Structures are given as structure tokens and as C-alpha cells.
Amino acid sequence: MEMAADAQESGKWTTFFHFVSLGFFLLFVGLGVGWAVLAGCIHKFATWQPDALHSFAVHEHGRVFYVSRALGRLYASLPLTWISLLVAVSISFGLIIYKSRRSM
């Protein structure tokens, strides 16, 4: 009787970790695709000389161009966000593997 209750409780947590891991993984892939698209079309929103609106300098491939502050901050934060999501995906999948091996 106790084993059945433990298995049911373990099943709830495993399902929760599956949803969390899937969410992190989808954010990770979506951010990777969004980053590539943004990197490909960021020049459409940029100028080569700073002005009142375009004051954030982006150094990329030996060139400097200027974008708005909000877009520049978003573009600058993408690597750290991507690495953080990679760590979250790794930890959440590790918890799923740990729980599944523990329940065997």
C-alpha cells in the first residue's frame, strides 16, 4: 500500500519535472532561433553614426553600429540568457534522470 502511494507521488513530481524541462527546452530553442533572426536583421534597425535615438554601440565582426538602447540591451543580454537556459535545461533533465533511476 505504501509503495503505491510513493509511486503515485513520484509520478506527480516526474510529470512536473517533465513539464518544467520541456518549458526550459522550448525557451532555449526559441531564444537560439530568435537570436539568429535578430542577428541577421539587426542592421535594419541600426545606424552607422550615433544620434539621439540610436545611442547603444554594438561591436560585431569588426564593425560598430548603433541601435536604440532597448534593442541594444536585449541584444547584449542574449548570450547570458542563453547560457542560463542551457544550465536550467541540464539541471531539469538531470533531475528527471535522477528521479527515474531512484524509482526503479
Q: pLDDT, tens digit, for every residue of 14-38?
A: 678 788 889 999 999 999 999 888 8
Q: How far apart are CA 96 and CA 87, in angstroms?
A: 14
* 87 domain residue, yes or no: yes
Of the chain, the percentage scoring pLDDT greater than 70 comes to 85
pTM over 0.75: no
Long-range contacts of 27-30 (CB under 8 A, 24+ apart): 27/85, 28/82, 28/85, 28/86, 28/88, 28/89
Q: Distances in Å between the alpha carbon of 79 and those of 19, 32, 52?
A: 24, 9, 27
Does 94 score more than 50 pLDDT? yes
45 occurs within a structural domain: yes
- The answer to whether residue 35 is domain-embedded is no
Assess if residue 60 is contained within a domain. yes
| 67 phi-psi bin (left φ>0, alpha ψ -120 to 50, beta other) | beta
Q: Is residue 21 part of a domain?
A: yes
Residue 13 maps to a domain = yes
The reply to whether 52 falls in a domain is yes
Contact 74, 56 (CB under 8 A): no
Query: What domain range is 14 assigned to?
Result: 2-30+40-103
Instruction: Taking residues 47-60, report their average pLDDT.
Output: 87
Report the number of distinct structural domains present in the chain.
1
All three cell numbers of 82, joined, read: 542563453
